[in-house]
Structure 1
Amino acid sequence: MDTTTRFAIQDLYADYTRCVDDSCYEEWPEFFTDECLYRNVSRENFEAGLPMSALALESKAMLKDRVYGVTQTIFHAPYFQRHIVGIPKIISESDGVIVSEANYLVIRTKLDSFSEVFNAGRYIDTIVRENGRLKFRQRICVFDSELVPNSIIYPI
């Protein structure tokens, strides 16, 4: 893989992280193709090939609906999140389809308490180029714990 593409993938990860950490949720679906899969799943279920997920969205339209829910209808105690994402490892590239993985850690900070580890795991991504821009066709967030504090509200 050429260096330009590697840097573009790193930029995709960095831009995605900035988007969700800065609460720019209206921009979040634009990181995905129209037909996409965004899934948050425990490692246990992922490794067993089980479909049960904490969250599974199967198109950009579903991602937009989630944004509406997060910003307009879901009532919850507000919190901020900060991602620490490892350098993406390119697993494969074939016919313009890139599969990559990166470890992530999400720190959650509520207004009235200390920061805490909220979620840790790895992204397993399928990336394609659409109109000259890299986008996720599939983003699977495989979290290490079988337990998730409260619920996952914001994108991981």
Structure 2
Amino acid sequence: MDERLLKNIIRQEISSFYADYCQALDSSDVTRWPDFFFDDCEYRLTTRENLNDDLELAFIRCIGKSMLRDRAEGLKNAVFYRERLQRRLVSGIQVDFVKADLTRFECKTTLALIESYDGQPSSLLVCGETQDSIVVDHGEYRFQKRMCIIDSDTIPDSLVYPL
């Protein structure tokens, strides 16, 4: 198969992977969240200011899938918060093909999270970008590393679910 055609197919598959990820979280199925990651993964939520200042500070940092599972279980069973509906909008997916065998990719996206409560108008909760390392293994795409960088220097108290 022509390499250019193959790369376009991979871009489509990565786009579908992001859509599946957003759908799982938008449907409040947080228990599916860890399934999008490898066992030896990293998830980090930070601000652009921290990143620009080379600070390792993170509002959320999970090292390994077991930490993701703990967080998901806590959100599902232990944490009490006001019911909300969230929609993640991902656009501008950029794919950098890292390995010649087309199994590892560095991706950047633009991300916005819109939130709705009963009786309240929808509002923009956060916006920013993601810098992700995605690996395909046995035809399955998963995050090796996901860093969510929000543009604001503060994170709203109501940021409950992962980005």
> Normalising to structure 1: TM-score of the pair?
0.95
Deviation at 1:151, TM superposition (A): 4.2
The alpha-carbon deviation at position 140 of structure 1 amounts to 0.4
1:87 is paired with a residue of what secondary structure?
strand
Maintained 8 Å contact 1:100/1:126? yes
RMSD: 1.3
Pair 1:30 & 2:41 matched: no
- For 1:55, the equivalent position in structure 2 comes to 60
Matches of 1:68 and 1:150, distance apart in 2: 19
Structure 2 match to 1:13: 18
- What is the aligned length? 156
Secondary structure of the 2:95 match is strand
Contact 1:54 1:152 in 2 (8 A): no
Question: Which residue pairs with 1:103 in the alignment?
Answer: 110
SS at match of 2:92: coil
| Cα distance in 1, alignment partners of residues 97 and 55 from structure 2 | 24
Over the matched positions of the two proteins, sequence identity in percent amounts to 29
Structure 2 residue ranges without an equivalent (≥5): none
- After TM superposition, where is structure 1 displaced by more than 4 Å over at least 4 residues in a row? none
Which structure has the bigger radius of gyration? 2
Q: In structure 2, the residue corresponding to 1:75 is in which secondary structure?
A: coil
> Which has the larger displacement, 92-101 or 29-38?
92-101
Counterpart amino acid of residue 75 in structure 1 = F
1:119 equivalent in structure 2: 126
Name 1:70's counterpart in structure 2. 75
Deviation at 1:88, TM superposition (A): 1.0
> What residue is the counterpart of 2:48 in the other structure?
43
Stretches of structure 1 lacking an aligned partner (at least 5 in a row): none
1:138 alignment partner in structure 2: 145
2 CA distance for matches of 1:78 and 1:147? 22
Q: Secondary structure at the match of 2:147?
A: strand
In the TM superposition, what whole-angstrom CA distance separates every residue of 1:54-84 from its partner, at most 9, and x where no partner exists? 1001111111001111011111112111111
